[in-house]
A = this chain, B = another copy of it.
Amino acid sequence: MSNLVPPHGGGPLKPLLLAANDRQEALARAATLRQVPLSSRELSDLFMFGMGAYTPLDGFMGEADWRGACVDMKLSNGLFWPIPITLSCARNAADSIALDDEVALTDEEGTIVGILRVTEKYEIDRTLECEHIYRTTDGKHPGVQKVMEQGDINLAGPITVLSEGHYPETYKGLYFRPAETRAMFEKRGWSKVAAFQTRNPMHRSHEHLAKIAIEIGDGVLIHQVLGALKPGDIPADVRVKAIDTLVENYFVEGTAVQAGYPIEMRYAGPREALLHALFRQNFGCSHLVVGRDHAGVGDYYGPFDAHHIFDTLDDDSLVIQPLKIDITFYCQKCDGMATGKTCPHGEEDRLNISGTRLREMFANHETVPAAFSRPEVVKVLQAYYDSLG
């Protein structure tokens, strides 16, 4: 009997990746099918389906589920789901696909990565999706932009995933599927596990968040986004190296599990925080650290909108719980790390370095204060910035 939280929906994990032995035959069959190219985001969702992160979904959503996810955060069967997972294609391509057809899904290089049995074709109201999911229809929002640019027709239906792309190879020792993280937690006897979501190298504020989670639970899953990020973000391999060195030097052995997962950020702020919680439950986590402006971008969301949205959910929406933490920083007067909830001192005592200023410091080889980032981490990042030339 596992002491971990159950997968979302309460049933078993549903990884949609076909067993390796059966893949050859399926690929041969897929080669005969009409091809539908996936966008980068759709491909990342296919990989999420493949590993079981989107349990209990069987594939890309139909119209009723799309609308339910947008408007009520509920699928047509009543299950909580805060962001639609959909597949689009061009109208003329869709016209030549009949219901019940199987189509081959391909990545950006044309490689077949999955098969979709089309059970539904429908047009969506992009404005409705963006208003509900992104709280904006501003085309400058990177998530909105992708919705606006997607094909006119959504194809829905169950999928079979035939590939995990480059991930298992590129991120060996980091690319763990939900069944694997669950096994790791169980082996350690953990039941109270917080996920710490990151798409950045971990500075001291991030370390502080992760360590609060460790204090009150069995351990933390440092869970890195390996999918596409927005321009200017630190690439995954550098980030992995920076986090490795942090964990090695500043964490007690056996308190942190590192893993990466293939999602592409939508930057949907509060709604995405809910999706992050949902699939972390599939990974076996009982808590998700939700800090300031979780999954946000620009000024589209209030700094704690992603905290508040959890308070609006029905009790049975999720088993996983948010671990809401206020803005985090080093305070001179506190003589250590603190948050807005524990430090009564003023801005003048707090060390805040913006992303822009930090990049400038690296560009100029200025010393990044040890109170902001561990020297070992700074060294890794400096080498990366230097390599940009």
Contact = CB atoms under 8 A, between A and B. Distances in A.
Contacts of A249: 344
A319 interface: no
A59 B364 CA distance: 73
Interface string A307-345: 000000000000000010110000000111111111110
B252 A342 contact: yes
Contacts of A343: 252
A313 B255 CA distance: 25
A216 B288 CA distance: 12
A344 B252 contact: yes
Given A211-B338, A212-B215, A336-B337, 5 more contacts: A211-B342, A212-B216, A215-B341, A252-B341, A253-B344
A344 B212 contact: no
A371 B341 CA distance: 21
A370 interface: yes
Top 3 closest A-B pairs, CB basis?
A: A336-B336, A211-B342, A252-B344
Interface in A327-370: 334-344, 370
Nearest to A220: B342
Interface string A185-219: 00000000000000000000000000110111000
Name which of A215, A251, A323 has the most chain B CB atoms within 10 A of its CB: A215
Interface residues of A, number: 27
Contacts of A340: 252
Interface of A: 211-212, 214-216, 249-253, 255, 323, 325-326, 334-344, 370-371
Contact of A215 (B214, B342, B370, B371): B342
A58 to B, nearest CB: 36
Contacts of A370: 335
A342 B255 contact: yes
A325 B341 CA distance: 19
Contacts of A214: 341-342
14 contacts: A212-B215, A212-B216, A214-B342, A215-B325, A215-B339, A216-B216, A250-B344, A252-B340, A252-B343, A253-B344, A255-B342, A335-B336, A335-B371, A336-B336
A338 B251 CA distance: 11
Contacts of A341: 214-215, 252, 255
A336 B371 CA distance: 10
A251 B336 contact: no
Contact of A251 (B252, B339, B342): B342
A144 to B, nearest CB: 34
